[in-house]
Amino acid sequence: MVHDLFFNLCGPSHSFDPGHFDTAVFRGMGLFNTPIWLLAIMSKSGLFDAWEVKTAQVLTYFNRSDIDGGFTYWPDGPDEDPARIAAPFWNTAFLTDNSRMYHRRESNGARDERDYPDLDMTSQLYAAADGEWSVRNGDKEIRRFGEADMRLLVHYTALLFDDADDVRRYHDHTDDLTPDKVFEMLIDDMRAKGHAIDEPSDPMNDMGFVARLTEFYKMAPSRYPAEAPLEVR
């Protein structure tokens, strides 16, 4: 069952991503009704596995450059060594479980062209003549790239079900999570592990509470390929 499909297109760029996993889907809570930060905490906590809907992803890359630009992944977990698929790619697809596996795109393209000092939230990308691409702030062009400099990712996610009963449980909402249930379980878990915490009146929007949850359940890879070390801002 199709869940989402998106793509991104970019020129040479940095990747400061230390490694992440994609947004998980839980019965009653997912990408379309729940903040991404909460879905990430739910996944990291391990408390909600009984409600998680299995997913599979197909990632298809188009990237002619062989300057960095690979795909790093941690098949044995974030505490173990990573694996890496090196660029270039052209219509190259990977079948993954990115909601359970840490991964990251690597920095790509010419290293002296990865900074965009004039880029802002209003900058736009346009197709230009002769297969080139133009990055503009309004009428002002701030960067131009040829096709060979561009990197395209098409990302497809499907939901997977064990049987017809599993499908009905998802569609009929007979065993859904709610935010109240989630916060209750998270707070109980933190207290059971010796962490004193007060229950906020508005947990979804209490930034102090969100920060404490994020810190308590944080995890990330610490080992990186020699060919693609972690970039730091």
Measure the CA–CA gap between 228 and 38, rounded to whole angstroms.
29
Tokens of 47: 């408390």
Q: Is the per-residue pLDDT at 177 higher than 90? A: yes
Q: Which residue has the higher pLDDT, 114 or 233?
A: 114
What does the pLDDT read at residue 1?
67
Three-state DSSP class for residue 196: coil
φ, ψ of residue 156 in degrees (nearest 5): -120, 135
**Length reported for the chain:** 233
Q: pLDDT class for 168, splitting at 50, 70, 90?
A: very high
Q: Are 56 and 157 in contact (CB under 8 A)?
A: yes
Q: pLDDT class for 3, splitting at 50, 70, 90?
A: confident
Coarse DSSP helix, strand, coil percentages of the chain, rounded to the nearest 5 percent: 25, 30, 45
Q: pLDDT class for 129, splitting at 50, 70, 90?
A: confident
| Type of residue numbered 60 | T
Q: Are 2 and 55 in contact (CB under 8 A)?
A: no
Question: What is the pLDDT averaged over residues 209-221?
Answer: 95
Q: What angle do CA 176, 52, 186 make, to 5 degrees?
A: 75
Interval 12-34: pLDDT, tens? 999 999 999 998 999 999 988 99
Tokens of 218: 């944080």
Interval 46-59: pLDDT, tens? 999 999 999 999 99
**Listing from the earlier edge strand, what are the strands of the sheet with 140-145?**
124-127, 133-137, 140-145
Interval 50-108: pLDDT, tens? 999 999 999 999 999 999 999 999 999 999 999 999 999 999 999 999 999 999 999 99
What does the pLDDT read at residue 23?
87
Question: What is the pLDDT averaged over residues 204-220?
Answer: 95
Instruction: Please name the residue ranges forming H helices in the chain.
Output: 36-45, 164-172, 179-192, 207-216
